[in-house]
Structure 1
Amino acid sequence: MNSWTRPDFAYNIRQRPMTNKPLARGGAKPLRQASDRMKVLVGVRSFKQAEFFLTRGADEVYCGLLDIPNHGMRAENFSGVDELHRTVEFAHSLGKKAFLVANDVFPAAAFDEAAGKVEALLEGGMDGVIIRDLAVLDHFKRRGMDAYFVLSTLGLCFNATTLKFFKERGISRIVLPQQLTPDEARPMFDRKLGLDIEMFCLPLFYEINLNALCSLSCPCSQEIVPGKEPPKYTCLSAIRCEGGSYSMPMPDTGTLLGYFYDFYHMGANCMKVARGPNASEVVELFFKSVYLAKLLEKGLSREGFLFEGKRICASAQNYGKRYIVQHL
């Protein structure tokens, strides 16, 4: 077990020196107070995982069920409703929250049944639901449900006009698409909308393509077969042709750290840690993400944040997941 997965990691953050080089402070006046803390949301697939993260700094968890459409593998979902209710009760006992993930299109044939299960879970104590399907949102609006709805990146909301459209239909929080730059997203940080804005820790978890539109072969679209190596990410593979090999461009670590820094100072108030079947990798992603968030809360300058951030991200997997089922 490495230093990122030890239960006393939070102690290590406070005690160990971050670098031998002094970190610069100051610079342009931020759009938020440096001490403002982002909420940390983590994807979990069992009560045991939820308990682990909620007692180590997570403010919220999100959970999926196999019989409610969501963008995840079987191994990323809870075993059943009872375990989900237990997770909600535990989160509430700590003054924290649990969300349901239903971020896929609901098939017409199963729509009423799936929507009914979502409604029952919300009435049973879930603090909100992450969605993609506009039909689901309109369904609950017609039923007069006053729930906390989170728009997934799969909702493909890339500008302020679209965000206002979803706001009018009941959205309370948006997860920023990873492909947006801070300059492109700036008009969406309109305090008049009264929306919470959530982002991934981009330097540690970044996806090149738009998930909702990508049809390339991908491990997350296929189930794991024991003893068989999962398919590779097609979008990360080089294409060989006359004149050499070509790969899809990905922003470098410094660029993504800069985006993360800017989004924080623009007012993003929630950081999302993606769920996955590999428990040790999700744990590592969580602790590294929390560490980077703490650097922002310390009020480091951009230069100082990028210097320390590059050291932390040196061993990062940009996609954040290895498709090996591993239990916590």
Structure 2
Amino acid sequence: MRITIGIKSLDEADYFLHQGADEIYFGPAVPSHRASFSKEKEILDSIRLAKKLQKKTLLALNEIYSREQYGFLLAHARRLTGNGLDGLVVRDVALLEYFNSEKFRPNFVSSIMSSCFNSQAMKFYMDLGVGRFTLHSQIMPEDAVKMVSAAETIMFVSCLFLEPNIVPFCFFTYPGGPGASKLKVRPCKAGFKCGRHDFRMLESNLYFQAGLLYDFHKLGVQWLKIPRQLNTRKLITEFKITRFLNLLLEKGLDRESFVKAVTELMTRADLNKYGSSYLIKPDVDIPARHA
């Protein structure tokens, strides 16, 4: 499987591309619960570096933007694709429709925040130009057979990122900073409720999560995704773990041996010691940039 990872600086682009990432993705420099570049020049430099190494780059437009922002986003995206950007990760159907109306159809990738949960929804998005799809955490391997056979697919590494909520439909933050982009708020982690019903996923353990990774690999999912985050130390560790898990999958271990190996690795790694993904960790030094 190939690895795509979210970044927030040229230093991170250089490090991860040289350490085996097949693709990097990044967002525009706007306040968000994820991390973004501070200058467009760094984005352009990262695109050029990826091209030099024959790797891919994506711009992630994961928000619900106002109509007033569409012109800026279109100009920004066109400028980047004109400089070698390989595609866009898009969440909002309205934005996809706008890009289509402006005859702008680069390689589109559906965000995990899009509302695509089955093969029928995939067909709708494909008509808007989407060619690669990010699978939601709520989709199980047995439900994804038609989806995986219909288009190129991505999954988050389940033992690193398993979203308990249905991501697209929560827009709220809560106090408790410093959080994302140095704002005094944190992303919402509350469960969705309707009456007495709780719309969280069922609780899972490492055995279940490792099994998901194995089953999706066998099903034919092509990409493993690591989300961008403010906590650089944790991001580097998650990348190293993902790279190792990918090697285990390529070795052709049987399911039981793979699940056991992943569970032992994740228990030893103890990612809780790094803190939340949303914590700003400025003390981390990215290894020196390559010449």
TM-score, reference length from structure 2: 0.85
Task: Give the conservation status (yes or no) of the 8 Å contact 2:230–2:279.
Answer: yes
Q: How does 1:88-237 map to 2 (within 5 A)?
A: 88-190=47-149, 193=150, 195-215=151-171, 217=173, 223=180, 225=182, 234-235=189-190
Task: Give the conservation status (yes or no) of the 8 Å contact 1:102–1:131.
Answer: yes
Letter in 2 for 1:104: E
- The yes-or-no answer on 1:268 pairing with 2:221 is yes
Q: C-alpha displacement at 1:280, in angstroms? A: 0.6
Q: C-alpha displacement at 1:205, in angstroms? A: 1.3
Task: Give the conservation status (yes or no) of the 8 Å contact 1:100–1:129.
Answer: yes
Q: C-alpha displacement at 1:250, in angstroms? A: 2.3
Aligned structure 1 segments of 4 or more residues deviating by more than 6 angstroms = none
Label 1:141 to 1:220 Cα distance change in 2 as closer, same or farther (>3 A). Answer: farther
Letter in 2 for 1:324: I
Task: Give the conservation status (yes or no) of the 8 Å contact 1:217–1:232.
Answer: yes
The number of residues matched between the two structures is 272
- Alpha-carbon separation, structure 2, partners of 1:177 and 1:81: 30
- Alpha-carbon separation, structure 1, partners of 2:146 and 2:276: 29
SS at match of 1:189: helix
% identical equivalent positions: 27
Task: Give the conservation status (yes or no) of the 8 Å contact 2:26–2:36.
Answer: yes
Larger Rg: 1
Task: Give the conservation status (yes or no) of the 8 Å contact 1:66–1:77.
Answer: yes
Q: C-alpha displacement at 1:225, in angstroms? A: 5.0
- The yes-or-no answer on 1:309 pairing with 2:272 is no
- The yes-or-no answer on 1:52 pairing with 2:7 is no
- Alpha-carbon separation, structure 1, partners of 2:58 and 2:201: 34
- The yes-or-no answer on 1:323 pairing with 2:255 is no
Label 1:319 to 1:272 Cα distance change in 2 as closer, same or farther (>3 A). Answer: farther
Where relative contact order (Cα < 8 A, 6+ residues apart) is larger, the structure is 1
CA RMSD between the two structures: 2.6
Q: Which residue of 2 aligns with 1:292?
A: 245
Label 1:319 to 1:267 Cα distance change in 2 as closer, same or farther (>3 A). Answer: farther
TM-score, reference length from structure 1: 0.76
Task: Give the conservation status (yes or no) of the 8 Å contact 2:2–2:224.
Answer: yes
Label 1:221 to 1:197 Cα distance change in 2 as closer, same or farther (>3 A). Answer: farther
Q: Which residue of 1 aligns with 2:289?
A: none
Letter in 1 for 2:48: E
- Alpha-carbon separation, structure 1, partners of 2:188 and 2:124: 33
Structure 1, unpaired ranges of 5+: 1-37, 237-246
Q: C-alpha displacement at 1:96, in angstroms? A: 0.6
Q: C-alpha displacement at 1:162, in angstroms? A: 0.3
- Alpha-carbon separation, structure 1, partners of 2:18 and 2:80: 23
Label 1:202 to 1:220 Cα distance change in 2 as closer, same or farther (>3 A). Answer: farther
Letter in 2 for 1:91: A
SS at match of 1:204: coil
| Deviations, residues 190-244 of structure 1 (Å, cap 9, x unaligned) | 2xx3x21001100111110022213564679954659x8x7596438xxxxxxxx
- Alpha-carbon separation, structure 1, partners of 2:211 and 2:281: 32
